[in-house]
């Protein structure tokens, strides 16, 4: 469950040496490489992995953090803001220990500044525990000491964000902080009266409308416990079972390893909240297999990157964004989880269509039978590890809270894994799971805290309403134009941001505009969630693609561009459920749902045929254009009507079939 082997703030945009030379094949890839170079002032620096006494103490600290969170989320009843302070303080301290400040920083031990900032992180948590009740009693009138601690907290949090999350989110958050202070100096509608530093410090640090706000509450509760749930599943080698299961289901068919990658990434997505972790877990197994049957290295990496990015869209965990969406919308998490199934399945269908058509065009076959594990044997040996996952889904659907479901799921893992020796957890395995759970949660906690600057700024300045009005004005009141503007804004804002942070930013700024134009709240927030997630495969800052490139050996710029190409149907998918919210189970009826789902699936198939250039046979350029136009038409079956959608499908498919029949004698001759 470890989220990344890199500290993004030190080079998330430069994960391979000499990328400026490697990206010079074409004008497009050269441009991508130059943009990456411009945005990358530091080299990539791996997380520290200590040995000896330092390693043991760090591991014990991480285990203690996980145990404290288990206590806080069960019997340790306390004020929410105090719990958030403990959550952020402990995980910031862990961040400073594990993430070096610079490439030249010592790797075998934390430096003196690292220890000092880790100590201050713990002090900030203790300060909130001891001081917050007094601040409430004096109506948030801070003393000089309070203001100095608040200012230092902002500085330390900013540094933690730079190290663990990355430069883009850090700079964006600081920009909003500056916007709150210097509002009168901004142009036109964006100007506001501004706020003094004392009010900003109090709002951002000592209230639940800044860094200790809703997003951090979600991180401290649901997100941490579900990440811990995933860590315990990983400790039982469930990822190996998912790989074997995917291999048994799809390995023997044409392009089998690529389909294995898609299925394995979808399965891993049910327990992993990180696209990078998904790539590292499944890609190490599937990428060599794809290259073995003839896929180019860049294509193999792109398949894994696009599929692993989709893993965040797959319920029940869906990264941290789904839990935050539940808090923003004030609806039970189970409704978010159930609403996410149909769009996620459509996304993976799109990638599956692409890899299948690519394999058909290149004449690829599947793996030999002797290399494909029997499905019955796979299920017999490790199939019982699906029980905890099914159990936690049942608990959520049955109406239990996500926290209770996560704790029950942890117990279920321990009990079920003990049924077979190959999956049975030892005390050491449990300790490693607790350690990895804390490490994987650190960057999530820091990102959820620093976006508090953005959320707090929007609340203080009314920026969200200003942007919403401008989007509606620029679009001329046309929904499709507003969707395009919000899509572009989401992708641009998402470059270099974790999916969770991107969702929060876009949901805070763009979702109100969509709701103002009649889009249902759930569809508006899912729109933000999807584009926030898919930013991981959009160049020039395609972090998931670069992780996959390291495993495939492909040129990162080519992997990024091909990953975007494979995920292109997913970039169109949010338009489906905005126009047809029945896909999100809004105004649900089985007949309407199946009708819209079928039209969406055919639309994605047509788009995939157009992108790859083959269907029943290889297509001419105008056939590809016809399939592309038909796929776009099917995005909006609500407006055209189901009958019109059927007519579009019938005409396009019939024409392609007739042309294929005509071409066959020519090919035979």
Provide the pLDDT for residue 494.
Answer: 66
Provide the pLDDT for residue 155.
Answer: 96
Residue 34 has pLDDT above 60, yes or no: no
Residue 35 has pLDDT above 50, yes or no: no
CB 421 within 8 A of CB 67: no
In this prediction, residues 469-477 reach a mean pLDDT of: 78
Nearest alpha carbon to residue 21 among 44, 40, 38, 37: 37
CA distance 508 to 454: 9
Highest mean pLDDT among 117-126, 204-213, 440-449, 467-476: 117-126
Provide the pLDDT for residue 23.
Answer: 34
Phi, psi of 6 (to 5 degrees): -125, 155
DSSP alpha helices (H): ranges in 221-332? 224-235, 238-250, 256-269, 275-278, 284-292, 297-311, 321-329
In this prediction, residues 614-621 reach a mean pLDDT of: 83
- What are the Cα distances from residue 197, in Å, to 59, 177, 204? 39, 10, 10
In this prediction, residues 619-630 reach a mean pLDDT of: 86
Provide the pLDDT for residue 669.
Answer: 43
- Kindly report, residue by residue over 209-264, the tens digit of the pLDDT: 899 988 899 889 888 988 888 888 888 878 778 878 888 888 788 878 888 888 88
What whole-number percentage of the chain has pLDDT above 70? 90
Tell me which of 380 and 29 has the higher pLDDT. Answer: 380
Residue 38 has pLDDT above 80, yes or no: no
CB 198 within 8 A of CB 142: yes
Nearest alpha carbon to residue 45 among 95, 86, 11: 11
**Residue spans per domain, the chain:** 48-218, 589-669
Provide the pLDDT for residue 112.
Answer: 92
CA distance 444 to 167: 15
What is residue 48's three-state secondary structure? coil
In this prediction, residues 525-540 reach a mean pLDDT of: 82
pLDDT bin (cut points 50, 70, 90) of residue 206 is very high
CA distance 8 to 543: 9
Beta strands in 155-218 (DSSP E): none
Instruction: Kindly tell me the burial class for residue 35, based on how many C-beta atoms sit within 10 Å of its own C-beta (0-12, 13-18, 19 or more).
Output: middle
Measured from the Cβ of residue 131, the count of other Cβ atoms closer than 10 Å reads 17
In this prediction, residues 3-20 reach a mean pLDDT of: 41
- Kindly report, residue by residue over 136-164, the tens digit of the pLDDT: 999 889 999 999 999 999 999 999 999 98
Provide the pLDDT for residue 665.
Answer: 57
- Kindly report, residue by residue over 61-112, the tens digit of the pLDDT: 999 999 999 999 988 878 999 999 999 999 999 999 999 988 888 888 899 9
In this prediction, residues 168-172 reach a mean pLDDT of: 86
Provide the pLDDT for residue 33.
Answer: 40
In this prediction, residues 316-333 reach a mean pLDDT of: 84
- Kindly report, residue by residue over 176-195, the tens digit of the pLDDT: 999 999 989 988 778 888 89
Residues whose CB falls within 8 Å of the CB of residue 292, separated by 6 or more in sequence, listed in order: 257
Provide the pLDDT for residue 48.
Answer: 85
Residue 433 has pLDDT above 80, yes or no: yes
Provide the pLDDT for residue 626.
Answer: 87
Dihedral (Cα; 151, 190, 506, 83), 10-degree rounding: 30
CB 313 within 8 A of CB 204: no
CB 369 within 8 A of CB 252: yes
pLDDT bin (cut points 50, 70, 90) of residue 32 is very low
Encoded tokens for 56: 């043991």
What whole-number percentage of the chain has pLDDT above 90? 23
- Write a three-state SS string for 412-476: HHHHHHCCCCCCCCCHHHHHHHHHHHHHHHHHHHHHHHHHHHHHHHHHHHCHHHHHHHHHHHHCC
Provide the pLDDT for residue 90.
Answer: 96
DSSP string computed for 592-624: HHHHHHHHHHHHHHHHHHHHHTBSSSBPPHHHH
CA angle 400, 406, 409 (to 5 degrees): 100
Provide the pLDDT for residue 540.
Answer: 67
In this prediction, residues 537-562 reach a mean pLDDT of: 80
- The helix (H) or strand (E) run that includes residue 28 is helix 27-38
Tell me which of 566 and 475 has the higher pLDDT. Answer: 566
Provide the pLDDT for residue 89.
Answer: 96
Q: Tell whether pTM > 0.75.
A: yes
Is omega for the bond preceding 355 within 30 degrees of 0, making it cis? Answer: no
| DSSP 8-state code for residue 6 | B
Average pLDDT, the chain: 82
CA distance 241 to 316: 18
In this prediction, residues 399-405 reach a mean pLDDT of: 83
Residue 30 has pLDDT above 50, yes or no: no
Residue 614's DSSP bridge partners are 618
CA distance 432 to 437: 8
Encoded tokens for 147: 């203001």
């Amino acid at each position: 469950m470890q989220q990344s082997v890199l500290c993004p703030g030190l080079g998330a945009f430069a994960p391979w040496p000499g990328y400026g030379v490697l990206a010079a094949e074409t004008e497009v890839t050269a441009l991508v490489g130059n943009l990456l170079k411009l945005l990358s002032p530091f080299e990539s620096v791996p997380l520290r992995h200590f040995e000896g006494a330092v390693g043991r103490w760090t591991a014990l600290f991480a285990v203690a953090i996980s145990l404290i969170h288990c206590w806080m989320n069960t019997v340790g009843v306390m004020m929410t803001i105090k719990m958030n302070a403990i959550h952020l303080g402990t995980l910031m301290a862990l961040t400073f220990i594990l993430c070096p400040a610079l490439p030249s920083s010592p790797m075998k031990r934390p430096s003196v500044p690292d220890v000092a900032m880790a100590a201050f992180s713990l002090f900030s948590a203790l300060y909130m525990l001891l001081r917050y009740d007094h601040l409430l009693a004096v109506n948030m009138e801070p003393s000089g000491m309070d203001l100095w601690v608040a200012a230092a907290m902002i500085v330390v949090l900013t540094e933690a964000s730079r190290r663990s999350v990355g430069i883009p989110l850090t700079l964006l958050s600081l920009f909003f902080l500056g916007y709150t202070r210097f509002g009168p100096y901004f142009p036109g509608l964006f100007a506001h009266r501004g706020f003094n530093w004392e009010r900003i410090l109090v709002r951002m640090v000592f209230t639940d409308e800044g860094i200790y706000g809703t997003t951090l509450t979600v991180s401290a509760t649901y997100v941490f416990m579900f990440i811990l749930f995933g860590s315990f599943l990983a400790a039982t080698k469930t990822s190996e079972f998912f790989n074997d299961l995917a291999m048994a289901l799809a390995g023997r068919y044409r392009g089998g390893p690529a389909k294995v990658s898609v299925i394995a990434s979808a399965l891993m997505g049910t327990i992993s909240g990180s696209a990078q972790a998904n790539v590292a877990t499944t890609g190490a197994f599937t990428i060599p297999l794809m290259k073995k049957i003839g896929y180019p290295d860049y294509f193999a990496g792109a398949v894994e990157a696009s599929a692993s990015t989709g893993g965040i869209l797959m319920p029940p965990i869906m990264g941290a964004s789904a839990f935050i969406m539940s808090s923003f919308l004030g609806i039970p998490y189970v409704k978010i989880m159930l609403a996410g199934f149909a769009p996620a399945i459509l996304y993976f269908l799109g990638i599956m269509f692409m890899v299948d058509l690519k394999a058909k065009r290149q004449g690829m076959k599947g793996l030999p039978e002797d290399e494909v594990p029997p499905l019955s044997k796979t299920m017999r040996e490790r199939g019982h590890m699906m029980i905890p996952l099914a159990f936690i889904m049942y608990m959520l659907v049955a109406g239990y809270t996500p926290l209770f479901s996560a704790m029950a799921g942890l117990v279920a893992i321990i009990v079920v894994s003990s049924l077979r020796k190959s999956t049975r957890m030892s005390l050491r395995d449990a300790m490693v799971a607790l350690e990895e759970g804390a490490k994987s949660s650190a960057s999530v906690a820091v990102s959820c805290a620093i976006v508090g600057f953005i959320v707090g700024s929007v609340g203080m300045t009314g920026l969200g309403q200003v942007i919403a009005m401008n989007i509606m004005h620029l679009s001329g009141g046309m929904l499709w134009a507003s969707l395009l503007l919000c899509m572009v804004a989401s992708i641009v804002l998402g470059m270099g941001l974790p999916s969770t942070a991107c969702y929060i930013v876009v949901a805070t700024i763009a979702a109100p505009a969509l709701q103002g134009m009649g889009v249902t709240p759930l569809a508006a927030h899912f729109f933000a969630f999807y584009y926030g997630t898919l930013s991981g495969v959009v160049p020039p800052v395609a972090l998931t693609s670069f992780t996959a490139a390291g495993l495939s050996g492909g040129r990162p710029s080519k992997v990024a561009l091909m990953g975007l190409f494979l995920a292109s149907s997913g970039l169109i998918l949010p338009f489906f459920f905005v126009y047809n919210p029945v896909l999100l189970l809004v105004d649900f009826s089985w007949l309407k749902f199946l009708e819209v789902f079928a039209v969406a699936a055919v639309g994605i198939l047509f788009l995939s045929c157009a992108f790859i250039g083959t269907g029943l046979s290889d297509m001419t350029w105008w056939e590809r254009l016809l399939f592309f136009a038909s796929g776009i038409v099917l995005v909006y079956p609500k407006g055209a009507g189901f009958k019109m959608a059927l007519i579009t499908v019938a005409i396009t498919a019939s024409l392609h079939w007739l042309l294929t029949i005509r071409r066959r004698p020519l090919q035979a001759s």
